[in-house]
Amino acid sequence: MKYITRFAPSPTGHLHLGHVYSASLAMQAARDTGGLFLLRMEDIDAGRCRPEFELGIYEDLSWLGFKWEEPVRRQSEHMEDYEALISRLNDRDLIYPCFCTRKEIKAEIVRSNAAPHGPEGLVYPGICRGLSDRERQRNFALGKPYALRLNMVKATADIDLATLRFQEQDKGYIQCNPLPFGDIVLARKETPTSYHLSVTFDDAIQGVNHIVRGQDLFPSTHIHRLLQALLGLPTPSYFHHGLISDGKGRRLSKRDKDATIKSLREYGYQPEEVLKMVKYG
Residues that bind ligand GLU (CB under 6 A): 8-10, 42, 199, 213, 217
Which is closer to ligand GLU, CB of 143 or CB of 242? Answer: 242
Distance, CA of 29 to CA of 17 (rounded, Å): 18
How deeply is 158 buried, as exposed, middle or buried, from its count of CB atoms within 10 A (0-12, 13-18, 19+)?
Answer: exposed
- DSSP secondary-structure letter at 259? G
**Which residue type does 102 have?**
R
Distance, CA of 113 to CA of 144 (rounded, Å): 27
Which is closer to ligand GLU, CB of 14 or CB of 213? Answer: 213
User: At its nearest, how many Å lie between ligand GLU and the CB of residue 163?
Assistant: 22
Q: Give the relative orientation of helices 218-231 and 79-91 as an angle to the nearest 10 degrees.
A: 70
Which is closer to ligand GLU, CB of 10 or CB of 209? Answer: 10
User: At its nearest, how many Å lie between ligand GLU and the CB of residue 111?
Assistant: 34
Which is closer to ligand GLU, CB of 40 or CB of 149? Answer: 40
Which is closer to ligand GLU, CB of 112 or CB of 253? Answer: 253
User: At its nearest, how many Å lie between ligand GLU and the CB of residue 188?
Assistant: 17
Q: Give the count of alpha carbons within 13 A of 70, CB side only.
A: 2
User: At its nearest, how many Å lie between ligand GLU and the CB of residue 96?
Assistant: 26
User: At its nearest, how many Å lie between ligand GLU and the CB of residue 237?
Assistant: 14
Check if the beta carbon of residue 7 is closer than 8 Å to that of residue 27: yes
SS3 23: helix
Which is closer to ligand GLU, CB of 14 or CB of 100? Answer: 14
User: At its nearest, how many Å lie between ligand GLU and the CB of residue 222?
Assistant: 13
How deeply is 52 buried, as exposed, middle or buried, from its count of CB atoms within 10 A (0-12, 13-18, 19+)?
Answer: exposed
